[in-house]
Structure 1
Amino acid sequence: MFIGGLLYKQFVMKFTLQKKVYIFEPKIIPSIATLIALSILLTLSFWQIKRLIWKKDLINTRIERYEKGIEDFNSLKFVDDNEFFKVSVKGEFLNNFEMFMPALSKRGNNGYHILTPFKNSDNKVYILDRGWIPLAKKEKSERISNIVEGEHELDVVIRKPGRKGKFQPENDLKNNFWFFVEPTRMSNYLNIKLEEKIYLEAVNNGPNNSPLGGQTRIYIRNNHLQYSITWFLIALGLIGVYLAASIKLEKK
């Protein structure tokens, strides 16, 4: 009690503002709680700055790689280290093994991405996202003019399979709907040996402008500066509330 009283007297201050005398009279428990909350809020604010820098570097890397000239796929020594590079591949589509990824187009329309196994000239089979089609063209009979048969050369973007998103549903093997690329399960589903470290995304549209290629999302949102400012403003608001609760007009 003696130590608490001593600390209390040490931090009590008087000051004058517009000819009025005010007392800054902090309470121990609210002060400790405010300091803890402030440290958390400011840590979150500075952490978002780190995330901002990380996201900028990520975006710049994507753009730099994507905007580089198209290279020959077979000339790359370590293919899985070249995500977002554009390359030219030659091979054939295994059109009897199509898979469908429910997705919105870049204009927000419902449809599917067509995922088709692609056997390249080295006889390796990769998942190739040919692009987006509307719901009405899901059946192959509705897009005969868009099917590519035989050996074909096309430009693609190298991608790495990602992990399932927090809010993504599980892949629906029963209905052949895939919400994220999962090479191991796709291999088992199709009974085809698929390369697992990468998959490919078509750069250009298919025959007669379908499927719609170029669906790779290079430019991603970077809202971390707004998040950082938000946490900082909350911290300032907390300081304001604390001061308002701790400062009182001196009674005469």
Structure 2
Amino acid sequence: MLLGVLVLAALAVLLSLGTWQLQRLAEKEALIARVAERINAAPEALPARADWPALQADQIEFRRVEFEATFRHDDEVHVFITLGAPKGPIGGQGYFVVTPADLADGTVVFVNRGFVPLAAKDPATRAGGQVEGPQQITGLIRPPEPGTWVTPAADVTRNVWFSRDPAAMAAARAIPADRVAPFTVDQERAALPGGLPQGGETLVSFPNSHLQYAVTWYGLAAALVAVYASFLFNGRRRRG
């Protein structure tokens, strides 16, 4: 009797885990479809400043936007990254060049202009790419990345960062917080003298193994039923 209760409890756990993975599969497939639609859509305007307090990450992430702004190259921020699967010709260790850009209404948006290798951290080595004047910027909105307890702290003195948090970057560059958009924009690849920064390096990847996990849990449930049924059958044969 006790064994039967334990088997039923274990079966319920295994079935619930399998069902949960199927639910996660549906959520992940919906996310992938939503992101694919957004990154291939026609660019829209930036969220209005009045709407910033109500913005939610899932509402704005990967939305394609277009706007005109002027880069503040002297205030660019370098976010360390290892680009393992670059879309452009350059990869490996380096930095995302995240530069504040001034809009005509006084708004400031931090723009991830793209990747540079370690040797090109100094803007003087890529002076041709430091374009001046108003620029038409097209890219994907990314929610802030404040980092976690395992993320190294930014070395503001050396201008080396490990996450993209526009509020923290604005504070380091003495930009009034109320003027800074609560998101960054990953710029699409642009034709620049010298080719740097190498834009269009947004990573859009969502691991989706939920179906395999569901099959595993349901398979274990089926195996448990088969083993218990065999146990009962053999027990009856021995008693017979």
Alignment match, 2:216? 230
Distance 1:211 1:197 in 2: 23
**CA drift at 1:46:** 0.7
Aligned twin of 1:201: 186
CA radius of gyration, larger in: 1
Query: Which SS does the other structure have where 2:182 is aligned?
Result: coil
Structure 1: how far apart are the matches of 2:47 and 2:7? 60
Deviation sequence 1:13-52 (CA, Å, 0-9, x none): xxxxxxxxxxxxxxx3332222222212211111111111
Q: Deviations over 1:131-166 (max 9, x none)?
A: 111122112222122212232222122222246358
**Matching of residues 211-226 of structure 1 within 5 Å:** 211-226=197-212
Sequence identity (%) = 28
**Whole-Å Cα distance in 2 between the matches of residues 142 and 244 of structure 1?**
73
Q: Does structure 1 residue 87 correspond to structure 2 residue 70?
A: no
- Taking structure 1 as the reference length, the TM-score comes to 0.76
| Residues 1:75 and 1:184: Cα distance change in structure 2 (over 3 Å) | closer
Note if 1:250 corresponds to 2:238. yes
Could you say if the C-alpha distance between residues 220 and 236 of structure 1 is closer, same or farther in structure 2, counting changes exceeding 3 Å?
same
Who is 2:24 aligned against? 51
1:225–1:151 Cα change, 3 Å? same
Instruction: Report if the CA contact (8 A) 2:111-2:186 is conserved.
Output: yes
Provide the secondary structure at the position in 1 that maps to 2:78: strand
Secondary structure (helix, strand or coil) at the match of 2:171 reads helix
- Residue 247 of structure 1 deviates from its aligned partner by 4.2
Distance in 2 (CA, whole Å) between partners of 1:149 and 1:161 is 26
Gaps of 5+ in 1: 1-27
Contact 1:130 1:206 in 2 (8 A): no
Q: What residue ranges of structure 2 are gaps of 5+ in the alignment?
A: none
Preserved CA contact (<8 Å) 1:90 1:153? yes
Worse overlay, 74-83 or 221-230? 74-83
Paired residues for 1:150-169 under 5 Å: 150-162=133-145, 164=147, 168-169=150-151
Structure 1 residue 173 and structure 2 residue 143: aligned?
A: no
Q: What's the TM-score once normalised by structure 2's chain length?
A: 0.80
Answer with 68-77 or 108-117: which moved more: 68-77
Spell out the pairing of 1:1-252 with structure 2 (5 A cutoff).
Answer: 28-73=1-46, 78=51, 80=55, 81-105=59-83, 106-107=85-86, 109-162=92-145, 164=147, 168-174=150-156, 175-194=158-177, 195-205=180-190, 207=192, 208-248=194-234, 249-250=237-238
1:45, 1:228 within 8 Å by CA — same for their partners in 2?
A: yes
Please give the alpha-carbon distance, in whole angstroms, between the structure 1 residues aligned to 2:78 and 2:48. Answer: 30
- The alpha-carbon distance between structure 1 residues 85 and 29, as it changes in their structure 2 partners (threshold 3 A), is same
CA deviation digits over 1:98-128, x for unaligned, max 9?
A: 2222223233622211111111121111111
Contact 2:109–2:184 (8 Å) recurs in 1: yes
Amino acid at match of 2:99: T
1:81-112 deviation digits (Å, cap 9, x = unpaired): 44323222212111112222222323362221
Q: Aligned residues, how many?
A: 224
- Tell me, what secondary structure is at the counterpart of 1:111? strand
Contact 1:125 1:193 in 2 (8 A): no
Any idea what the Cα deviations from partners look like across 1:217-242, whole Å, max 9, x if unmatched? 33523221112112222222333443
